[in-house]
A = this chain, B = another copy of it.
Amino acid sequence: MIMTHPEKSGPTASPQSAPADTPCSDAPTGAGTALKLVLRRVAIDTYRENVAYLHRDCAVYRAEGFQALSKVEVRANGKRILATLNVVDDEHIVACAELGVSEDAFDLLGVADGHPASISQAEPASSIPALHRKISGERLSQEDFRAIVHDIAEHRYSKIELTAFVVACNQNELDREEVYYLTDAMAASGRRLDWRERPVVDKHCIGGIPGNRTSMLVVPIVAAHGMLCPKTSSRAITSPAGTADTMEVLANVELPMETLGEIVREHRGCVAWGGTSHLSPADDVLISVERPLSIDSPGQMVASILSKKIAAGSTHLVLDIPVGPTAKVRSMPEAQRLRRLFEYVAGRINLTLDVVITDGRQPIGNGIGPVLEARDVMRVLENDPAAPNDLRQKALRLAGRMLEFDPDVRGGEGFAIARDILDSGRALAKMEAIIDAQGAKPFRQDQPHCGGLSFDVLAEADGVIIGIDNLQVARIARVAGAPKVQDAGVDLFHKLGERVAKGQPLFRVYAEFPSDLEFARQACARSSGYTLGTADEVPLRYVEF
C-alpha cells in the first residue's frame, strides 16, 4: 500500500522514527505527460543495432536518470522498439526536444519524422533469466528457447546479451534436443511459405569453399526435370560471393514474394535472394554477433540452416558438407558428427534430408568473385570446353541426389539423368528462362568486364601444387573488392596436383580501385594461399587431415 502525503504548509507531523529534520514537500504526479518528444531520424546506419539518441540537456534524459548504453524503450504510434542509448552533445544531431533514432530503428517504427514519441527505461527482456541459466551452463527447455528466440527476433536483446547467448550456446555445446528446440524456435519466429505441393526440394552447402556455385547449376537441372526448386540464397557475409551476389550479375534477385511465386509456378525454379529477415528474423539478428566473432558452432549452424529451410517451405534437402584442411569441417569424423546432428534435427522437424560429404580441399571452379563465378557457371551450362570440370561434376552429383527425391527415379540413376539434362542444353534453356523471368542483366560471359586493375601471383619455385588455402584465397578476393565490386576477385589458373614452373602465374587478382589492389597485393605478400611440394604430398580426398 502506498500513500502520498497530503498537501502541507507547516512542518511535517513525522512518523515515529522518521527524522524531524528533513522537511520534504510533495508534488502531484505529473509524470508521463512530460515525457513526450518529437521523433527524428538520425541518418546513421548502425547495422541492425537500434540506437536512440538523446541530447544531454534533454529534460527527459535528466529526469529519467538514463546512462549512455542504457537499454531504452522507444514508443511511437503504438509501436515500441528497444534501443541502446547514445548521449548527444550537438543540437544539429538531435535537439533537446527530440528523440533521435538510427536508420534501422526509424524504419522499424514506421512513422514520419516529427511524430510524437516517448522513451523510458526498458524492462529487461522476459527471457533474460533463461539466458542467465544458459550462461551458467544449464540445459534449457523448449519454452526457454522459444522465449529467448522470440525476444531476439523482436530486437529485445542488446548486442551484449546476444553475444552472451551465442557464446553460452557455443561453449557448453547444446545437446541435440536443445539444437532441435533452437531450430524450431527460429523457424517459428518468422513467416513460413507454403508451396502447396510436395516435394519442395532445396540444396544447401554449409559454406567455406570459394567458387562453390553449384546452386546455379542444380536449380535449372532439377527444375528442367520438373521438380519444384524455389531456391532462396544468401548474399556473401564473410565470403567473396554468395549465390545471390553471383546470380545478381545475370539477373535481378530482389523480387517481391508474389512475383517470385509466379516465376516458380511457371518455371519450377528460381535463384533469388532469400530476404532471410522475414523467414528467420532471429537468425538475422544472431548473425550480427556471430559474424564479427567468427563463431559458427555446430548447433547454431544446424539451427540457422534448417530453420530457414523449414520457413521457406522446403520438404526435401540435399546438404553439402565439404571436408578439407581449410574448410569449415576438417576431418571425416567431424563431418560424420555434424551429419548425424543435421539428420537428428531434420527428423524432428519432418524435413527429408540427404547429406553429401564432398571434397573441400580447395576452391571449386576457377573464378572467385561474382562476375568470375557467373562466368564459370555459364560455361558449365553451355558445355564450353573451358568450363571448370570440378564445378560441373559436383553440380551433377548434387543434382542427381536431388532428382532421387523424385519417387519415380531409382536410386543411383540421378547422376545420369542430371548429366543428360545438362548435356542436352535443357539446363541452359531453363536457366535462360529463369534469368528472363527474374529480369535479365547484360552479361557476356565470353568477355566479362573485369576490374580495371590486376596483377598475377607467380610460382616461387618449380613444383606440384599440394595446397590451396580456401581462407586465404577468399581473403584476397575480398580485399580486392568482392563481392561489393562485382568484377573484382581472383581467377585461379592451377589447382591441386598440377605441376608448375617457377615464375608461372598461379592466379590473377582483379580490382577496380587502386587501394583495393594495394591491399590485395599486401595480402598476397603475406601468403598466396598456394603451397608447392612433390606429387606424393597432395592430400587425398576423405582422409584425416
Contacts and interface: CB of A to CB of B under 8 A. Distances in A.
A356 interface: no
A514 to B, nearest CB: 4
Nearest to A30: B514
A34 B514 contact: yes
Interface string A12-48: 0001111101111111111110110000001111110
A170 B135 contact: yes
B457 A24 contact: no
14 contacts: A2-B525, A3-B458, A15-B505, A24-B454, A24-B508, A26-B454, A29-B517, A31-B514, A31-B515, A31-B517, A44-B86, A92-B93, A163-B163, A164-B167
A443 interface: no
A493 B2 contact: no
Contacts of A1: 457-458, 460
Given A5-B454, A24-B453, A25-B452, 17 more contacts: A2-B521, A2-B524, A3-B458, A4-B521, A17-B493, A24-B452, A24-B510, A25-B454, A28-B514, A44-B86, A62-B513, A63-B516, A135-B295, A136-B170, A163-B163, A164-B167, A167-B168
B47 A515 contact: no
A32 B515 contact: yes
A180 to B, nearest CB: 22
Contacts of A170: 135-136
Copy total for this chain: 2
Contacts of A71: 292
Interface residues of A, number: 111
Interface stretch (A153-161, A271-279, A433-441): A153-161
Nearest to A453: B27
Interface string A200-230: 0000000000000000000000000000000
A237 to B, nearest CB: 9
Interface in A487-530: 491, 493-494, 504-505, 508, 510, 513-519, 521, 524-525
For A18, A45, A456, which residue has the most chain B Cβ atoms within 10 angstroms? A45
